[in-house]
Structure 1
Amino acid sequence: MTKESPGFLNERYRLKDLIGRGGMASVYRATDERLGRDVAIKIFELRATDASDIQRQQAEINVLASLNHHSVVTLFDVGVNRTEADGPQIYLVMQLVDGVNLRQRLEGNPMSTRHIAQIGYDLAEGLEYIHGRGVIHRDIKPANILLEEYSSDTRTHARLTDFGIALFPDSERVTNLGMTTGTAAYLSPEQARGEEVGPASDIYSLGLVLLECFTGETAFPGKPIPSAMARLLRDPAIPEELSPEWRHLLTTMLFREPGQRPSTAEVVLALRQAVIAETGRHRGAADHHLISDEPERLREIARLDILDTPADGAFDRIAALAARLFSVPIAIISIVDTDRIWFKSHHGLEIGEIPRDPGLCASAIMSDGPWVVQDARTDPRALANPLVAGEFGLQFYAGVPLTTRNGYNLGTLCVIDFEPRVITGPELRTLTDLAALVMSELELRLESRRVAL
């Protein structure tokens, strides 16, 4: 088996396309024949056999195996391929993220401020999670940020990958400029000086990544050593046209002294506020009828005459199909009324309605597309929700708005689980298609009633 001719790994993983290649490993798209799902497999090169290489590989395995967060790529399996004549190969089986990395995205059209805020918020949440477990990534850069497109009309979700040089509890935290401890263009000043590194180092690197998203240019380009040393002599230029909030955030994240930078929690809060602000501006200009047009949305519900209808076999079949496709215990077709959420179909659930306030469907209808909580225990949008914190114990929610032809979100088709889980882009597209079937059925019934009259 070679990088150019993928094969069958340990009678389970069928290797397909080469996704990426680094100095010590290659990453393939593959199919897990046992579970019937696509995965990403990182195979370490045959030459990675001396003690330091093996130690570095084992360190990445240990780090990834301990992490479970929606902004960090999930590790599924670890193995050793012993079929090669030149020696064994360690490989990692990881979550496959459908999309491109941020480096590839930056080569395209300029990014909107809203998009940058969303990516930054995802990454800051991921850093807060790993920093809380004593892990320092040390290699935050665009190529190590994967962008997953849930569907064509919703936001991109960013995931952090490649923990090959990460530090974890009890690791030596002093680096050396002559060693491979990061990518020169994104090193923090303390990395460049060979000093002790902590969470503030990742914050600096994230600041450089966000700055590059705005400018389209690397702040410290050039060969490794001049690039690394440049940040010891000057601060990167922050564009004058950015808002005062963005200028303040980037300036503080990029202070040369680690102690002057904001904490990871402070960056999460700042970027959360940026997402809220940018989303509000986007919705104000977009041709969508969300919460600001609540009376019109309720009139659409009345037009379709769906609140007082009896149980419906067609909707029950769609909900049951969604539950089977996603292997979840609960699937719901909901309509969000003034103060209630009515469950027009509720596969796996006995109740037919709940108050509007705690319902996640009420949040989902304010989205332009799928609204996903992959781990409610860590997602700030849901962790205090009574359905999550209380006896019900909801841990996973994926809902697609039921949108009328003129743009009003009436309710959702959602799937629910009591365990956190990862949902892929193709899966969300399937859920979106099922939601479209629900809306087609509603409109068809309205037309049938009109003809009958």
Structure 2
Amino acid sequence: MTTQFPKFLEARYRVKDLIGRGGMASVYRATDERLGRDVAIKIFELRATDVPNIQRQQAEINVLASLNHHSIVTLFDVGVDRTEADHPQIFLVMELVDGVNLRQRLDRDPMSTRHIAQIGYDLAEGLDYIHGRGVIHRDIKPANILLAEYSSDSRARARLTDFGIALFPDSARVTTQGMTTGTAAYLSPEQARGENLGPASDIYALGLVLLECFTGETAFPGEPIPSALARLQRDPAIPQELAPEWRHLLSTMLARKPEQRPPTAEVVLALHQAVIAETGRHRSAVDHLVSDEPARLHEVARLDILDTPADGAFDRIAALAARLCDVPIAIVSIVDTDRIWFKSHHGLDLEEIPRDPGLCASAIMSEGPWVVEDARTDPRALANPLVAEEFGLQFYAGVPLTTRNGYNLGTLCVIDFRPRAITAPELRTLTDLAALVMSELELRLESRRAALS
């Protein structure tokens, strides 16, 4: 049974919304009334007050209090709630990380290789820091990885949290031979066997997390015991389509024998190189799109779509996109030299806007879906007049309308006036509908040519 907590802790922290709940504790958003800032408070459940669990809580406090790194959540304070005298409860006051955890992010749309490299690099740096201090996390998994969003940055930064079962120097808590501690799907082989652990165990778990970022699937799913035993019998499958450097890095991180895995510092270096390589590839792709603007405009002219009359087929596609994504507005847009033309505009009585403020002009610079889930905090959109002024756009998801030879003519986009997430199935649906728009455009061009011949 979940404990009801007081509204105030130590007459200082006002407890507000529940953020998440685990087996031993619940995490709440709260306000530090003394300093006037929002914080995260982790309050342990009543059943976690026997001697072993009190020791576990104290161990987490000791670990967090000793760590100071940009890839690790920061501990601000610790206290004991004595509202019920017979059931004192330890609570931790931590930095509030705005954003989602990696588990929530993986349940949405697929991640780019560049983003995976950046997340991996952040986490590897954090692990290198704690391993250098003799700390083994022992529970690296997507739910324990927070993606912090900063308005001054262009990407989310990965932050490692939940050191509740960590091992650290001079601790009375040592690994007990034959006991398995951690989350079954992300255990290292030696962890599954209940053996003593070192940094290599965290490297294996990080490898599983990165692999899941690529595949969207847990490598060892299922019930705890079968899942734990599976890694003792086989290596996880690494997709053949991954670049050779990624296949090599993941295969070494996921070696069944800990001594065959790379040291943490080498993983940091490898992932740093991956970030540089993927950023270079991304910039090259964007540069290609920019430099080929004349060719893109030639494709717009070739399809002869700017001055065509309204088309019911596109209206039906836009209406379907709006309905399936549960948004008020859906648009089929074509980006011209200085205008964005709305070939269909479900939920919006507007046929064109200037190119500069239009988010579609940014979306066509992307190689895939371009999503802004909360335009009020996203640095790509927060200063946009469609966001900051009367129109009040807060959510945008656009899929490029891509020709057979690779040019983005415009987008199929959905818009909302409230922030929201978009799911992987919704993005796949938008992508399929965008492909249908392009198929219709090509068919209509062929029909016009046939009629003239």
Alpha-carbon displacement from aligned partner over 1:31-83 (angstroms, at most 9, x marks no partner): 00000000000001112111100110000000000000000000000001111
Matches within 5 A, 1:17-416: 17-151=17-151, 154-171=154-171, 173-175=174-176, 178-179=179-180, 181-286=181-286
* 2:27 counterpart SS class: strand
Equivalence for 1:359: none
Residue 284 of structure 1, CA deviation: 1.7
What is the alpha-carbon distance in structure 2 between the residues aligned to residue 262 and residue 245 of structure 1?
14
Alpha-carbon displacement from aligned partner over 1:163-187 (angstroms, at most 9, x marks no partner): 00000003455345554x1000000
* 2:105 counterpart SS class: helix
- Give the conservation status (yes or no) of the 8 Å contact 2:153–2:379: no
Amino acid at match of 1:240: Q
- Give the conservation status (yes or no) of the 8 Å contact 1:6–1:16: no
Amino acid at match of 2:148: E
Residue 85 of structure 1, CA deviation: 5.0
What is the alpha-carbon distance in structure 2 between the residues aligned to residue 434 and residue 25 of structure 1?
36
Amino acid at match of 1:44: F
Equivalence for 1:327: none
Residue 6 of structure 1, CA deviation: 5.7
- Give the conservation status (yes or no) of the 8 Å contact 2:136–2:202: yes
Please say which structure displays the higher CA radius of gyration: 2
Amino acid at match of 2:67: L
Residue 285 of structure 1, CA deviation: 1.9
Inter-CA distance 432–214: structure 2 relative to 1 (3 Å threshold): closer
Residue 151 of structure 1, CA deviation: 3.3
Inter-CA distance 83–266: structure 2 relative to 1 (3 Å threshold): same
Amino acid at match of 1:103: R
* 2:158 counterpart SS class: strand
Amino acid at match of 2:273: Q
What is the alpha-carbon distance in structure 1 between the residues aligned to residue 378 and residue 237 of structure 2?
44
Inter-CA distance 244–48: structure 2 relative to 1 (3 Å threshold): same
* 1:100 counterpart SS class: coil
What is the alpha-carbon distance in structure 2 between the residues aligned to residue 289 and residue 69 of structure 1?
38
* 1:99 counterpart SS class: coil
Amino acid at match of 1:49: T
* 1:274 counterpart SS class: helix
What is the alpha-carbon distance in structure 2 between the residues aligned to residue 202 and residue 83 of structure 1?
38
Amino acid at match of 2:128: E
* 1:15 counterpart SS class: strand
Residue 155 of structure 1, CA deviation: 1.1
Inter-CA distance 3–278: structure 2 relative to 1 (3 Å threshold): farther
- Give the conservation status (yes or no) of the 8 Å contact 1:219–1:236: yes
* 2:163 counterpart SS class: coil
Amino acid at match of 1:154: S
Inter-CA distance 432–82: structure 2 relative to 1 (3 Å threshold): farther
Inter-CA distance 6–88: structure 2 relative to 1 (3 Å threshold): closer
Inter-CA distance 151–287: structure 2 relative to 1 (3 Å threshold): farther
Alpha-carbon displacement from aligned partner over 1:100-122 (angstroms, at most 9, x marks no partner): 10001000000000000000000
* 1:282 counterpart SS class: helix
Give me the TM-score of the superposition, normalised by structure 2: 0.63
* 2:69 counterpart SS class: coil
What is the alpha-carbon distance in structure 2 between the residues aligned to residue 288 and residue 44 of structure 1?
53
What is the alpha-carbon distance in structure 2 between the residues aligned to residue 153 and residue 289 of structure 1?
23
What is the alpha-carbon distance in structure 2 between the residues aligned to residue 127 and residue 259 of structure 1?
17
Bigger drift between 51-60 and 77-86 goes to: 77-86
Inter-CA distance 195–5: structure 2 relative to 1 (3 Å threshold): closer
Inter-CA distance 281–405: structure 2 relative to 1 (3 Å threshold): farther
What is the alpha-carbon distance in structure 2 between the residues aligned to residue 241 and residue 430 of structure 1?
32
Amino acid at match of 2:248: H
- Give the conservation status (yes or no) of the 8 Å contact 1:177–1:191: no
Inter-CA distance 155–288: structure 2 relative to 1 (3 Å threshold): farther
What is the alpha-carbon distance in structure 2 between the residues aligned to residue 177 and residue 96 of structure 1?
36
- Give the conservation status (yes or no) of the 8 Å contact 1:149–1:155: yes
Give me the TM-score of the superposition, normalised by structure 1: 0.63
Amino acid at match of 1:279: T
Residue 283 of structure 1, CA deviation: 1.5
What is the alpha-carbon distance in structure 2 between the residues aligned to residue 432 and residue 112 of structure 1?
17
Residues matched between the structures, number: 305
Inter-CA distance 405–157: structure 2 relative to 1 (3 Å threshold): same
Inter-CA distance 111–430: structure 2 relative to 1 (3 Å threshold): closer
Inter-CA distance 152–223: structure 2 relative to 1 (3 Å threshold): farther
- Give the conservation status (yes or no) of the 8 Å contact 1:175–1:191: no
Alpha-carbon displacement from aligned partner over 1:409-445 (angstroms, at most 9, x marks no partner): xxxxxxxxxxxxxxxxx9x9699999999xxxxxxxx
Residue 261 of structure 1, CA deviation: 0.3
Amino acid at match of 1:174: T
Equivalence for 2:323: none
- Give the conservation status (yes or no) of the 8 Å contact 1:102–1:143: yes
